[in-house]
Amino acid sequence: MATRYWVVSLPVQNSATSLWNRLQEQISKHSFDTPLYRFNVPNLRVGTLDSLLSLSDDLQKSNSFVEGVSHKIRRQIEELERVSGVESNALTVDGVPVDSYLTRFVWDEAKYPTMSPLRETVDSIHSQVSKIEDDLKVRVAEYNNVRSQLNAINRKQSGSLAVRDLSNLVKPEDIITSEHLVTLLAVVPKYSQKDWLASYETLTSYVVPRSSKKLFEDNEYALYTVTLFGRVADNFRTASREKGFQIRDFEHSPEAQESRKQELEKLIEDQGSMRSSLLQWCYNSYGEVFSAWMHFCAVRVFTESILRYGLPPSFLACVLAPSVKSEKKVRSILEGLCDTANSTYWKTEDEVGGGVAGLAGDADSHPYVSFTINLV
């Protein structure tokens, strides 16, 4: 599948069929590896020349917006597929792969009546895509909120002893709580363990001798218990902090532990269901946006062709997918099929003040309408 297409229109002098045949013949002779398709643009409502000119000013800006939303949804799909381990699906519009939808484009009369003013059709496409973009932002924010809650819990469970949840490291028998005695949990830097063992009994009075026991260690810290009289606990905390030992607040509560476990399970379940529903929504919305974009391209090629070739509408619209090395050759074929003797089709930027020729959306002007569609 190509990811980059040109939409072009050539002026028809006699018959669109004979021009199409000539184009096919030239492409197969000089650039046979370039896929070529008719782009079926219906007879849309022209309106006045003034309305076309004012519309053409907005077309490129609106195109960038619609294309941008399409790419945004595609990137979201790729990200969701990657984290879900889902195999990438071919993106579709109503079950038709997007590249086939583009190369076999058929105007949807029910959705965009051809008798509607062009401005109305463009505004309708713009507001439809804006609504999808707003919806995307809300859905992604909800999903990211659950993800960040989960990440915070995971950090607490797998972070260093200075921050992680200690409940699964401490057993009920490690903690003594009586009328006078309490057990505190000290987080000691690994390199300070000798210092801790040599000094904890003297950090304050009323510490139970040899009461410190190592429960766990990670790459940076070790977790020790220490038992002392409850009334000196605050003094012990202060003295510990001064020596670089951190006393962690801890209360052993099976109920709290169970509730944390349930919260984690619920978040994991929520994340999974939100991810799959967001992915499904993205698949459907990508199809909608892509369809809107192709209708927009049809309006654009119609408008630009009339502004360049005049009325009544008489042009041949095509879609090509040349490889980079064939681009120059294809450009010269297209140019050769334009009646360059008729200077109407060939105006420099200066002659039109950056108007009609500037519509092409390509860096340089051509004697025919041309713009590029990047699918990714």
Q: What is the pLDDT of residue 155?
A: 75
Element (H, E) at 235: helix 233-242
CA angle in degrees (0–180, nearest 5) for 251-257-260: 120
> How far apart, in Å, are the Cα atoms of 211 and each of 170, 214, 329?
15, 10, 86
pTM, to two decimals: 0.77
Structure token pair of residue 214: 């190592």
Q: Are the beta carbons of 334 and 36 closer than 8 angstroms?
A: no
Residues 26, 337 contacting (CB under 8 angstroms): yes
Closest C-alpha among 2, 8, 14 to residue 314:
14
Q: Which long-range contacts (CB under 8 A, 24 or more apart) does 136-141 make?
A: 136/69, 136/72, 136/73, 136/76, 136/282, 136/285, 139/278, 139/281, 140/76, 140/278
- Cα–Cα distance between 18 and 252 in angstroms, integer? 86
Tokens of 167: 């409940």
Residue 346: what pLDDT? 45
Provide the token pair at 211: 């009461």
Supply the pLDDT for residue 156: 73
Half-sphere exposure of residue 141: CA atoms within 13 angstroms, side-chain side: 6
26's tokens: 């030239």
Identify the CA nearest to 183 among candidates 172, 191, 193.
Answer: 172
Q: Which contacts (CB < 8 Å, 24+ apart) does range 131-136 have? A: 132/69, 132/73, 132/285, 132/288, 132/289, 133/69, 133/72, 135/281, 135/285, 136/69, 136/72, 136/73, 136/76, 136/282, 136/285
Domains annotated for the chain, with CATH where assigned, are 42-158+257-323+369-376 (1.20.1460.10), 172-252 (3.30.70.100)
Structure tokens of 238? 């202060």
Mean pLDDT by 10 residues, the chain (376 residues): 90 93 95 94 90 89 94 95 84 93 96 95 96 97 91 77 83 88 95 96 95 94 96 96 93 71 85 92 96 97 94 94 94 85 44 38 73 91
Q: How many CB atoms lie within 10 A of CB 162?
A: 12
Q: What is the pLDDT of residue 165?
A: 79
- Rounded to whole angstroms, the Cα distance separating 251 from 33 reads 72
DSSP string, 315-331: EEEEEE---GGGHHHHH
